Amino acid sequence: MNTFINDWYYLSIRNIKQIWRPLLALIPSLFIPIFFFAVNAASLSAFSSLPGFPNISYKQFIAPIAIFTAIFFSAGNAGIELVQDISSGYFKKLVIMPINRLAIILSKLTEVAVQSVMQGAIVTILLLAVGVKFNTGFLGLLAMFGMLILFAMAWSCIGMIAALRTQNARLVQSMFVLVFPLLYLTTSQSPKELLPKTFATIASYNPVTYIIEGVRALVLSGWGDPKIWQGYAVASALFVVMVTLTLMSFRKALK
């Protein structure tokens, strides 16, 4: 096996094992999206009768958000695990091995991807069980996971950059609060047309809006919706930029 692939593979296995060690740590990132979905679908169902709302139930409208939130929450763990490795000194052990440093970062991203698929799949099954329909079928589901994984990996880089730059666990954990403005200053709860002008403007500058709209298009519309490729374009751009910044922080951390 090529040494780079070898390093990436074995580091990924190590990181993936951390996902369920301890198993209880998985619960909050699964509970929160399901909780918000259940509460919002029940309490805000009257929204769907407003003029300008698409001709679907509110439950169907916010279903993609539940999957997105599950992935959004779980992706933050990569930074926390990295700062734990740094503060324990384990990170230094990895750095002084004859391994490609890119493999260390890529293995973290692989862990994020695996965890995203696992958690996203659990939420998807629950949504299917409560009657949510996916208009683009199984292929649409795959495309949706592809877009969400790209975004999850990009988002996880924020935690990793904070870990590498500050080496402070509290600061990395506090990055979690960014989820809320990024998630709620979008079209996650309501179509853009129904948002007040200021919020609609902010939402149009928030990259997360394009991911949400892309995922929603895959669930509610069809393959012809341009929001799908727009979502992919934003997710891919974020991925490239954030991974580059993470690698730069990695180099800086060793000076």
Partner 1 sequence: MIPPYSRSQADALAICTINAIGTSYFLRNVPIRPATRLFTGEAIWCLLKEQMPAKKITVGRAELAGHKTDKAIIVVKNLVKTYPPDIKAVQNVSFEVKEGEFFGFLGPNGAGKTTTMNMLVNLVKKTSGTVTVDGFDVSTESNEVYKRVGFAMQEVGLDETATAREMLQLHGRLYHMSRQEIDSQIAKLLKLVELERVADRYASTYSGGMRRRFDLALSLIHKPKVLFLDEPTQGLDPHARQLIWGHIRELNKQGMTIFLTTHFMDEAEALCDRIAIMDTGKIVTSGTVNELLQKHQAKNLEEVFLKTTGSNLANEEVNLKATDPYVRAR
> By the criterion CB under 8 A, which residues form the site for partner 1?
3, 6-7, 10-11, 13-14, 17-18, 21-22, 84-85, 88-99, 165-168, 253-255
Q: Which helix (H) or strand (E) holds 204?
A: helix 197-205
Q: Which is nearer to partner 1, 92 or 133 (CB)?
A: 92
Q: Which is nearer to partner 1, 6 or 43 (CB)?
A: 6
Q: Which is nearer to partner 1, 100 or 189 (CB)?
A: 100
Q: Which helix (H) or strand (E) holds 123?
A: helix 101-129
**In the complex, what is the shortest distance from the CB of residue 250 to partner 1, in angstroms, rounded to a whole number?**
13
Which sign does the torsion angle of CA 65, 203, 135, 61 carry? positive
**In the complex, what is the shortest distance from the CB of residue 197 to partner 1, in angstroms, rounded to a whole number?**
39
Q: Which is nearer to partner 1, 81 or 225 (CB)?
A: 81
For residue 2, count other CB atoms closer than 10 A to its CB: 8
**In the complex, what is the shortest distance from the CB of residue 138 to partner 1, in angstroms, rounded to a whole number?**
34
Q: Which helix (H) or strand (E) holds 183?
A: helix 179-184
**In the complex, what is the shortest distance from the CB of residue 9 to partner 1, in angstroms, rounded to a whole number?**
8
Instruction: Annotate 22-33 with b (16+ C-beta within 10 A) or e (fewer).
Output: eeeebeebbebb
Report yes or no: 204 and 228 within 8 Å, Cβ to Cβ: no
**In the complex, what is the shortest distance from the CB of residue 1 to partner 1, in angstroms, rounded to a whole number?**
9
* CA-based nearest residue to 207, from 151, 146, 144, 145: 151
For residue 229, count other CB atoms closer than 10 A to its CB: 12
**In the complex, what is the shortest distance from the CB of residue 90 to partner 1, in angstroms, rounded to a whole number?**
4
Q: Which is nearer to partner 1, 43 or 88 (CB)?
A: 88
Report yes or no: 75 and 242 within 8 Å, Cβ to Cβ: no
Q: Which is nearer to partner 1, 7 or 213 (CB)?
A: 7
